[in-house]
Amino acid sequence: MTRSNLIRVAALLAIASAGCALAADLPKEGSYDYKACFTRNITPINFSDAYSAYSYNETATTVSTKPGGMFDGESVRCVGTVFIANGKRTNLSICEGVAKNGAKRLTRFQYDADGTRVREEVAGTGMYEGMVTTGTAKTVVPEKEIQPGVTTFCNQLTGTYKMK
């Protein structure tokens, strides 16, 4: 191998190592801003015009607005239930996010009939152990049925985090 090829290989290795180091050295506190576009599989109970319910499982991959930002590239899967009574909807979702390095976080989302939304980090492993977050989740692409029992939608999640 020529000297110029050795220099090119060394430069590429240095760039690759720097990218890995940046991902591993996220700040212990900061903000997050990412989108998650879900595919949801639904199992409905269509009881009456006034009452219905469904359970679901859904998956997504997160994309941070800042490449390499907190939660960027996570695989997310959620299970949940929705109950609709006289036009008022309640929802409970439990989601597991898995980072590229294998660290996991468990998040609870609850939507009450009065419109109150609660988001809570329940537990974490690896770099997410002891993490606390605050923030919001809002729908940025409305839910759309792509085939019977399967919908898609996108959420934007923003807020702050603190890691132990």
pLDDT digit string, tens, across residues 65-124: 999 999 999 999 999 999 999 999 999 999 999 999 999 999 999 988 887 788 889 999
Q: What gap in Å lies between CA 34 and CA 156, rounded to an integer?
A: 6
Pairing of strands 132-147, 150-162: antiparallel
pLDDT at 25: 65
Asked whether residue 20 is assigned to any structural domain, the reply reads: no
Burial state string for 122-150 with b = 16 or more CB within 10 A and e = fewer than 16: eebeebbeebebeeebeeeeeeeeeeeee
Confidence of residue 35 (pLDDT cuts 50, 70, 90): very high
What mean pLDDT is predicted for residues 20-27?
Answer: 55
Asked whether residue 90 is assigned to any structural domain, the reply reads: yes
Q: Kindly list the distances between the CA atom of residue 54 and the CA atoms of 47, 84, 106, 135, 150, in Å, as whole numbers in the listed order.
A: 10, 9, 22, 26, 12
Q: Which residues contact 61 (CB under 8 A, 6 or more apart)?
A: 36, 37, 73, 74, 75, 76
Asked whether residue 21 is assigned to any structural domain, the reply reads: no
pTM, two decimal places: 0.79
Closest CA to 55 of 85, 93, 88, 87: 93
pLDDT at 158: 94
Asked whether residue 9 is assigned to any structural domain, the reply reads: no
By percentage, how much of the chain surpasses pLDDT 70?
85
pLDDT digits (tens, 9 = 90+) for 152-163: 999 999 999 998
What mean pLDDT is predicted for residues 139-148?
Answer: 94
Asked whether residue 24 is assigned to any structural domain, the reply reads: no
Q: Which domain holds residue 77?
A: 29-162
pLDDT exceeds 50 at position 19: no
Asked whether residue 119 is assigned to any structural domain, the reply reads: yes
Q: Domain tally for the chain?
A: 1
Mean pLDDT of the chain: 86
Enclosing H/E stretch for 23: helix 3-24
Residue 96 C-alpha from the chain's centroid: 8
Side by side, the strands of the sheet bearing 29-45 are: 117-124, 104-111, 88-98, 75-85, 51-64, 29-45, 150-162, 132-147
The residue with tokens 């008022």 is: 88
Tokens of 97: 């996010």
Asked whether residue 87 is assigned to any structural domain, the reply reads: yes
Beta bridge partners of 163: none
Q: What gap in Å lies between CA 153 and CA 144, rounded to an integer?
A: 7
Which one-letter DSSP state was computed for residue 7?
H
pLDDT at 137: 87
